[in-house]
Amino acid sequence: VLFKSEKEDWATPPDVFAALDKEFDFQLDACASEWNRKCSFYYDKVDNALSRPWHPFGSVFLNPPYGRGMGVWIAKARAEATKGATVVVLIPSRTDTRWFHDYIYEQAEVRYLQGRLKFERPDGPRDAATFPSMVVIMRPTDRTKKEEPKMTTAHFYTRLESNVKVPIDVELDSLNMFVGGNKQGKTAGIEAAILAQTGKLPGLVHGKDITGFVPKGDRKITARLSNGTISTEYSANAGKKLPSSPVQSDDLRELLDGCEHVIPSVSMRDLLNRNAAKTKEAIMRRFGKIKTIAVPKALDEEQQVMWIEAIASVADIPPEDDAKETIAAAVKKRSAAEILADMQGWLDSTQRRANTAANAKENEVNAVQDI
């Protein structure tokens, strides 16, 4: 099997991974199993990593199957690097292959390893490979052979005008937060900005559903971003055929030619999603590099105790008398982002237990009242 380069379920040599992890601080093992995973977050066969996003995790380790389909994994790694991840790939040194020339040659950093690696197996023995290996580092800043990447950090838009759900006319800065109570337009502001750029709204299956956001009394939905010289606007009449894309100014079309232009945003709805994978992706995208966990100031004393208890439980440590000491001990054992990602499940289960106990007490009271 080793001679045929058909590596399917063997583990990366620990010393090789440790050296790379020290340099890149990996957040995701993109192709692993329970026994050979190298990161707390990993995709296995059930997860189908080729259909899942890697870039939200920032720094990704990949040791793919070494069979004929390896080119698909290399193409996926290149795509995720283009979207913002640094993907480090451990593979056989096959410089004569098509995938090497399509996605690696003159596009990524390549480190050729001396000697032959010894891969670990589930049953314990270590087998020396019959082929040389290389480490490929794919970064978001890599240049492809086909074209120079276009990117800009310019402050694009200074104004947002929209009637998506509610009327909005606001001045924009380089970083914007939508704050307010229920039904005051927080989500509507983000959706309007996305609609103005893409002509689509997240979560809508059918494009015609967009007209469902037309406010009562209006016959047309409009979302517009501008800064005086460039603009993009999506406008549609209710009941009429919808445009497939927004109308962009000539200056904007020239600027975005060949680029995918997306507003970076994170929603509390994603952070608190009951879907574990989505929660972890959202947290890693936003908080992947944090070093500690704060206690939210808005919590009362009872809630603060529960917050610290959750941190200690998720990190599998006994809680200290002092909250700061508990947090310090927890982040030494697990990363802060990993703890945050798993706290949601702990809080959910704690709430369910509390609800069950409350329902039992209520049943007891009702029984006494009946008597």
Residues 154-175 have pLDDT tens digits of 557 889 999 888 888 988 877 7
pLDDT for 1 beyond 50: no
CB 191 within 8 A of CB 225: no
Hey, which bits of 129-274 come out as E strands?
133-138, 159-162, 168-171, 220-226, 231-237, 247-248
- pLDDT at position 76: 94
Residues 101-157 have pLDDT tens digits of 989 988 899 999 888 887 776 666 566 777 889 999 999 877 655 555 444 445 578
pLDDT for 259 beyond 80: no
Residues 46-100 have pLDDT tens digits of 888 898 889 888 899 999 988 888 899 999 999 999 888 899 999 998 888 999 9
| Residue 56: DSSP 8-state | G
pLDDT band for 199, please (50, 70, 90 cuts).
Answer: confident
Determine the Cα–Cα distance for residues 57 and 38; give it in Å rounded to an integer.
14
Its sign, for the CA torsion 301, 306, 307, 309, is positive
Determine the Cα–Cα distance for residues 66 and 197; give it in Å rounded to an integer.
40
CB 191 within 8 A of CB 160: no
Q: pTM for this structure?
A: 0.46
If you average pLDDT over residues 330-336, what whole number do you get? 88
The amino acid sitting at 12 is T
Distances (CA, A) of 39 to 89, 96, 188, 318: 14, 31, 37, 23
Determine the Cα–Cα distance for residues 330 and 340; give it in Å rounded to an integer.
11
Q: Is 118 left (phi over 0), alpha (psi -120 to 50) or beta?
A: beta
